[in-house]
Every structure is written in C-alpha cells, then in structure tokens.
Amino acid sequence: MARAPRRPKSAPAAAARPAANEPLPLLVLRSTVLVPGQTLAVQMGSPRNVALARALTVPGADVVVAVVLGASDRDLTGLETRIAVHCRARERHDPTSETVQLTLLAVGRVRIDAVHATTPYPHATVSPIAEREDDENDFVARELAARVLAAADELSERGAIADPAALTVIRGHDDAPGRLADLTAAYLGFRIEDRDEVLQRVDVVERLRFVVARLEKEVDRVRVVADVMQDARGRVERHQREFFLRQQLRAIQAELGEGDGEGGDAAELARRIEEANLPEAVVREARREVSRLKSLPATSSEHQVLRSYLDWVLAMPWIRRTGGDTVRLDVVETALDAQHWGLREAKERILEHLAVQQLRGGEPLGPILCFVGPPGTGKTSLGEAIARAMDRKFERVSVGGVRDEAEIRGHRRTYVGAMPGRIAQALRRAEVRDPVLMIDEIDKMSPGGATGDPTAAMLEVARSFGVALKAGWKPKRTIILGSWDAEEYGLVGSTEWAE
C-alpha cells in the first residue's frame, strides 16, 4: 500500500549510484512500479521478497526493484537489459509472519546487465543511468513540462485527482522536467503499464511526450464526461422545474375548478397518440391539439369539441388492414355465382373492374361501380359478395333522405356536437383501412336547399379520395363511374330505378 505522497529529501549524487558490477539484491514486483524520486511503502508476501526484505540492513541498504508485467516471476532472465530502479530501504515492518512491509526510496534508474538466480533471493548486476543535464534545460523539455502542469491543473479543477497533495508534489519539481514526468506518472493514477513505460524511457523529452499524451487524453475524456453530466443535469433540472410548474398549475386549476387532475384527459390522450403509430402528419396535428387542450378549462365547450375530435382521430383505422394486395378473379367469380343467379353483364363488369385495377398495380384512381336497379334485385348483396371474395370488411352507408351537406362532408368543429361525415363514420365502424363501402340509396339524396347540396358534397368527397367525376350528372338517371380507394378503399355505389 502506498502512503500519502511526500517529496523525498534529495540525496548526494555519489550516494545515489551503486558501484558498477556489484551484484545487488533484486526485488521483483508484479503490481507496483517505483520511479526515481518516489518514496513508497511496499507490502510483500512472496517467499523470495520476504527473505530479501528481512535480510536487508535497514535503514540504508541498497536494493534493485524491477517489475514483471503479465509474466511469471519464476524466470527472471527476461529482466536483463531492462530499466529498473535503484532504491534505498528506509523502514521495515513485519505485520504477520508471512508478509513484510518495506519502505523504499527510489534513487535513480539502472540497467540490469545480468540476473543471478541465487538462493534464497536473486541478485542483479546493474549499470547506473544518468540523465544529462542539458536535457533537463532543453527548451522542448520545458515546453512539455508546462503542458504537463497545465493538464494536471485542469484535472485537479475538474476533480479527477483524488489526492490534492499529489499536485503539490508534482509542482515542487517544475524545475526538473525528467523528475516531473516520473512523479506525474507515479501520483496521477497512471496504469501500471504506462508507469513502466515511463520508467523504460531514458530520454527526458521522449518521456515527457509520453506523459503529455496520456494526460491530455485523460483531460479529453474528463471533458466529455463533464459535458455529458452537465447536459444530463440540465435536462433533469429542466424536467424537475417543468414538473413542479405543472404541479402548481394543477393546484391552481383545482382551486378554480378548472383542472383535470393528476393523469387527466390531456395526459391520457398524449400517451395514446404516442402509442397509436399514427402517420407523421396526423401525429403533428394531434400533438398541437393536445397542447391546446391542456390550456383549456375542462368546463369550456371548446374543450369538449377538442376532446371529441382527438377521440375520433385515435379511433380511425390508420394502419390496420384485412385484405391483401392480390385479388384472385376466379375466387370473386365463384363467390358472385354462388350468391346470385344470372346478372351476367353486372358480374362481367365487376370482374373487368377488378382485373384492370389488378393490372394497374392496385392504383386507387379509376371508376366507382354504381349498381342501378329496382329494389330487391341484389345491389347491396353484390357489394357484400365482392367484399367476401376479396376478404375485406363490408360497410353500408345509407344516404337516402340526407338533406344537409354536413352529413356527407362533416360538421365544422366550431359547432357543439360536431361529427365527421358518414363515410368517416363507416370507416370507424369497419375498424380497418381497406373495407368495401356501399353508398346506398344515392337517388334519394335531397337536391339541395338552405343547408347546402348533399349531392355536390358527395361528388367532392369522392373526388377527395382520388376520383375524377364529371359535373352535371343527375344521380337518379345515371350510373356513377369512378373508383376510389384512398389508397386502399373499395367504393361501391347503388341507386334504384326512377320512373
């Protein structure tokens, strides 16, 4: 375990160098890297290290400390030519019979020339490595040292340095770039591989460049984390502020008798709109209406109109289908023959209409079939047979006796009790987007009056679904030709003979 960092007392240069070719005890560590200038208490448990520590004359004994990364410490020949640290033993404690805690002062770098596998602990012959003073005063080294200090300051300001005393120790060596790089790697949380890489770099400039690269990379990471945290904190604070404001608004509305309470209509409608998988244009309009609904008191008439409108939007079959894209004419012919006797021309016209639509790839534009005949001749049942053969739902829309064009087009939403047109109501009843609609009793629609012309409204509604109808036709005496599908609707009209 490392004690709190403290700047070691400087030692004379002559005392810091071991004698050449003099074997020194070799202390091999696996998870700790010492750098020159560092004082560290190391706790050891391996038999060789425990024997070495107890054999040292404390204080003042010389020892070589090397690190083995990712390999077994049984074969020490791989340590030859690597850089190690010449240390002085300061203190020794024996907490248990199997472990020893040894406080070491790292004096300087040495190169391991040879490893001697002696018993009970190994020895190493080393050569001292001296840092050149011109490197210490080099302009590039000074610039790199300034970048190291700037990065360390920013990490400290952002709270990325756990021990504030570490920055004080590093700043105490701003006049020695080499020592600054070593202590930065030791005290600023570098990984053990990076600390060993700093130890192996003898050249001061290269060592500083490595430290600067690691520090500035860490600064970039801390900045990104800080930005993400700030953004997340801002969103949380904004949501909390909106939540409290909404709570206050609900409380005020509750006092005034105008609020809808917790989890009211507007929130429920907004949730249903998001879950309904509506088309994008419909979602935008629905959200806008929900926003208006939230600002209206529940007792106002406009609130009820908006609520009814949104209920209709959610009830319409925007997505669900029943029939497929392919129509089997033989199935349609069999269904028509099974339900109706004769009517050969009508059946052929129906098959021709479906065949042409099939050849056009389901294109919705085309004629609307209009069955003309006396009551009871099977006009409506033909439409039912077509729907059954195409595996679609069938809905009958009776327009007989309709006098108001609003019954076809739909009422304005400004009116209380406004309702959509009869075709939209039929789509809601069908609950699918591709039914066969039978507009029945077209000839019994009123020709118009003070409330508008429903026949003109019917032509306009048909045209809005992609149908081009010629104006001037009289419904009682004509066969209405056209087709609409509004992408997928099949429309069948019927009328009776008018004698």
Residue 469's H or E segment, with its range, is none
| Residue tagged 């070799």 (tokens) | 26
Question: For residue 329, what pLDDT is reported?
Answer: 76
pLDDT digits (tens, 9 = 90+) for 96-130: 878 899 999 998 899 998 888 888 889 899 988 87
DSSP 367: P
Share of residues in the chain with pLDDT > 90 (%): 3
- Ranges of each domain in the chain: 24-130, 135-224, 257-315, 329-495
Q: Which fold has domain 24-130?
A: 2.30.130
- For the chain, the C-alpha Rg in angstroms (whole number) is 45
Q: Who has greater pLDDT, 391 or 494?
A: 391
pLDDT in tens, 20-51: 567 899 998 888 888 888 888 998 888 888 88
Predicted confidence at residue 238, as pLDDT, reads 85
Is pLDDT of 477 > 60? no
Question: Mean pLDDT over residues 371-381, rounded?
Answer: 76
Per-residue pLDDT band at 87 (split at 50, 70, 90): very high
Check residue 463 and give its pLDDT. Answer: 65
Residue 63's pLDDT is: 92
On the question of pLDDT at 263 being above 60, the answer is: no
pLDDT score at 86: 92
Is the CATH number 3.40.50.300 carried by domain 329-495?
yes
Q: Given this model, what pLDDT does residue 498 score?
A: 33
Q: List pLDDT tens digits, range 155-207.
A: 888 877 777 777 888 888 778 888 888 888 888 888 888 888 888 888 888 88
What's the whole-model pTM score? 0.45
CATH of domain 135-224: 1.20.58
- Top pLDDT among 312 and 472 is at 312
| Per-residue confidence (pLDDT) for residue 12, from 0 to 100 | 36
Tell me the per-residue pLDDT of 281-318, one tens digit each, with 9 for 90 and over.
888 888 888 888 877 776 677 778 888 888 888 888 88
Q: Decide if 103 contacts 92 (C-beta within 8 A).
A: yes
Residue 488 scores a pLDDT above 60: no
State how far the alpha carbon of 150 is from the alpha carbons of 170, 181, 232, 382, in Å.
Answer: 12, 13, 27, 87
pLDDT (average), residues 249-262: 65
Going by pLDDT thresholds of 50, 70 and 90, the confidence category of residue 482 is very low
Distances (CA, A) of 383 to 23, 338, 343, 397: 107, 14, 13, 12
Long-range contacts of 271-280 (CB under 8 A, 24+ apart): 272/314, 273/310, 273/313, 273/314, 276/314, 276/318, 277/318, 277/319, 278/313, 278/318, 279/318
**Tokens 């700047």 found at:** 7
Query: Is residue 397's pLDDT more than 70?
Result: yes
